[in-house]
A and B are shown apart, each in its own frame.
Chain A
Amino acid sequence: MEYKLIYTAYRDGLKEGKLLGLKCNQCGTYICPPRKVCPECQSEDLDIVELSGKGEILTFTVVQVPPEGFESPIAIATAKLDEGPWVVGNVEGVDPNSLTMDIIGKRFTVGYKEIPADYISGGDRMALTFKL
């Protein structure tokens, strides 16, 4: 069966201000970012849905020694969307070096930013952003 929601369609959704995901018609699980099957029941019976784009921060770090092509400090968080899935993104709108563990549990709205390609990225990249 054809892949339901490929990366480029997911990315185009973000460019239009929509966080797209999948909903499993068998068990109701929400999936974001997209995958081929439901992680809970392995069903391929999935529908594309627009998610709320809101959630809460689970944990974070501030990278001081970046990979080539990035500038530090970089505030990165793992977060749980209100519909359940985990996502990784950059925390925006704050001084990265001011972040403490108080950020855990904070609410945010999802956005995105484009990241230039490099030799091994296979094209342009994008990262989710979390605006507190």
Chain B
Amino acid sequence: MGRLGREIAIVGVGMTPFGRSKKDQLEMFGEAAMDAINGSGLKPKDIEALFLGNAVGDLSEGQTVIASHAIAEIGLLGKAATRVEGACAAGTMAIIMGVMAIASGRYDIVLAAGTERQTVSGTAFATRIMNTGPHHFYEEPTGLTFPGIFAMMAHYYAKKYDVPLGELKDAMAKVAIKNHKNGAKNPKCQFPSITDLMEKRKAKAKQEGKPVPTWADEMDFLHDSKVNMMIAQPLQLFDCCPISDGAAAVVLAPVDIARKLTDKPVIIAGFGQGAAGGIITQRDFTRLIARESSAKQAYDMAGLTPKDIDVCELHDCFTIAEIVATEGLGFFDFGEGYKAVERGDTVMGGKIPINPSGGLKAKGHPVGATGVAQAYEITNQLRGNCGERQVEGAKVGMTDTMGGPFASVANIIFKRGW
């Protein structure tokens, strides 16, 4: 693979709150896009092209040609606008497309964004929409859901590494506790901490005159199958990310221009992207072909190794997915990721803080926006803007985004440009 013609940086970022929104995907895009453009000290007219991550907007809101409608939201009639679709990886892929478009020399200033509104579909139809990710002839007609796909990953992991399922599930529960705890310090996060959720449920029971639950701690709460119901064995509700709405955007520019616009340009040091079909084309549920290819491309391009990464936002669509991703990105040996969770290596202040934003698990997962929201978090982490959830002194950060049934993975490594 060749090198880029120019070095590219993020100059500004924007993001809506994640959760349930009254706004449609174009309105949310408009907010995030203008926050990113205004934060870059630019006007919409300075943007030369848009790459928009959007996975299922045609099915959820009946909107195709969404990139064109999006660019009209910000008044750029006549400019190039391209939808990038890669299921949950679409946002990161949109940033990569934007970076390469600038590196080609064709454009200087590009907006990369992602938007998605999924709560409007309801659980049953949203689940049907998502199961368009598996192969439509050979996987989808089994009734396979995304929790089901990652449930099979969890069983495979337990069998392969000979871990008692209960021990693995407790490590998975600790991923959920950690990400909710991190997310509670993120004002754009969909969910509060699990402790807060427990207290709310207790208060509600008391108010309604019902018996008040007596959970000893968060783990006790997660062991209660009445509140943490089974979704797809062995995954329970709190192993799963929510259905969400949201949008995020970043403005990209070559480093020489970026330095004139901001004191803190965040440089795209490396990126990678890989695809590998669906489940039936994998060879091991714990060694994902797309991720291992993509991560190697990103590390090679950046000239960095996993030890150089100070903070990582990775694809924790399900708790087991976070454990497997920490191994695939090289932070821990294969089969050791669940032990790292037990040791606390991935908490704030640990060896490698994972998902300080709350991750997909707690922050929410409007799928086409997720990768851009990860870049939003890493940009703010490197700039020191994250307040209570700041990873102190973070200089190099990484994002990891997976789309479909292990189908597409895209990674970006970011470093301070000052």
Distance in Å: Cβ of B121 to nearest Cβ of chain A: 9
Contact A59–B155 (Cβ < 8 Å): yes
Interface range for A: 35 or more
Would A68 and B125 be within 8 Å (CB), given that A33-B280, A63-B144, A88-B138 are in contact?
Answer: yes
Contact B142 A64 (CB under 8 A): no
Q: What's the tally of chain B residues with a CB closer than 8 Å to chain A?
A: 44
Known: A127-B141, A127-B142. A85 touches B147 (CB 8 A): no
- A62: contacting residue among B124, B165, B233, B280, CB under 8 A: B233
B224 to chain A minimum Cβ distance, whole angstroms, is: 16
Q: Are the C-beta atoms of B127 and A101 separated by less than 8 Å?
A: no
Q: B46 to chain A: closest CB distance in Å?
A: 39
A62 to chain B, nearest CB (A): 4
**Residues 12 to 29 of chain A near chain B (Cβ within 8 Å):** none
Residues of B with C-beta under 8 A to A126: 141
B207 in contact (CB, < 8 A): no
Residues of A within 8 A of B142 (CB): 74, 76, 88-90, 127-128
Q: Is A132 an interface residue (CB 8 A)?
A: no
B 163-200 to A, binary, CB cutoff 8 A, 1 in contact else 0: 00100000000000000000000000000000000000
Q: Give CA–CA (A82, B233) in the complex, Å.
A: 26
Known: A59-B159, A66-B143. A78 touches B124 (CB 8 A): no
Task: Give the shortest distance, in Å, between B320 (CB) and chain A (any CB).
Answer: 11
User: Does B85 sit within 8 A of A, measured CB to CB?
Assistant: no
Is B233 a contact partner of A86 (Cβ separation < 8 A)?
A: no
Bound: A90/B148 CA distance, A: 12
Cβ-neighbour of A125 out of B127, B141, B145 (below 8 A):
B141
Cβ-based interface call for A3 (8 A): no
* B97: chain A residues within 8 A (beta carbon): none
A120–B125 Cα gap in the complex (Å)? 11
**Which residues of chain A are near B234, meaning CB under 8 Å?**
61
Contact B148 A76 (CB under 8 A): yes
Shortest distance between the CB of B164 and any CB in chain A (Å): 10
At the interface, yes or no: B282 with Cβ under 8 Å from chain A?
A: yes
Interchain CB contact (< 8 A) of A64 among B130, B137, B231: B231
Report the bound CA distance from A74 to B156 in whole Å: 18
B152 & A64 in contact (Cβ 8 Å cutoff): no
Residues of A within 8 A of B231 (CB): 64-65
Q: B125, A66: Cβ atoms under 8 Å?
A: no
- Measured between beta carbons, the chain A residues less than 8 angstroms from B153 are 59
Within 8 Å CB of A90, what residues of B?
142-143
> What's the Cα separation between A60 and B154 when bound, in Å?
9
Task: Identify A68's interface contact among B127, B158, B233, CB under 8 A.
Answer: B127
Mark out the residues of chain A between 53 and 72 whose CB falls within 8 Å of any chain B CB in the assembled complex: 58-70
Interface membership of chain A positions 66-105, coded 1 if the CB is closer than 8 angstroms to chain B and 0 otherwise: 1111100010111000000111111000000001010010
Are B148 and A7 interface neighbours, CB within 8 A?
no
A65 partner residues in chain B, CB cutoff 8 A: 123, 127, 145, 147, 231-232
Contact A67/B131 with A7-B137, A62-B232 known, Cβ cut-off 8 Å: yes
> Mask for B112-139, Cβ within 8 A of A = 1, else 0?
0000000000011101101110101111
B407 to chain A, nearest CB (A): 14
By a CB distance below 8 angstroms, the chain B residues around A77 are: 152
Contact at B152–A67, with CB atoms within 8 Å? no
CA distance A39 to B278 in the complex (A): 13
CA distance A128 to B383 in the complex (A): 52
| Additional A-B contacts beyond A62-B232, A64-B233, A121-B141 (15; CB < 8 A) | A58-B285, A59-B285, A60-B152, A61-B148, A61-B151, A63-B151, A63-B232, A67-B128, A74-B143, A76-B142, A85-B280, A87-B138, A88-B144, A115-B141, A125-B140
Which B residues lie at the A interface, using CB under 8 A?
A: 59, 123-125, 127-128, 130-132, 134, 136-145, 147-149, 151-153, 155-156, 158-159, 165, 229-235, 279-283, 285
* Nearest 6 A/B pairs, CB to CB: A61-B151, A125-B141, A70-B143, A67-B128, A59-B156, A68-B128
- What are 24 A-B pairs at a CB distance below 8 A? A7-B137, A33-B280, A58-B156, A59-B152, A61-B148, A61-B149, A64-B231, A64-B232, A65-B127, A65-B232, A67-B145, A68-B124, A68-B125, A70-B143, A74-B142, A77-B152, A78-B156, A78-B279, A85-B280, A87-B138, A88-B279, A115-B141, A121-B140, A127-B142
Chain A contacts to B: CB under 8 angstroms? 7, 33, 39, 58-70, 74, 76-78, 85-90, 99, 101, 104, 115, 118, 120-122, 125-128
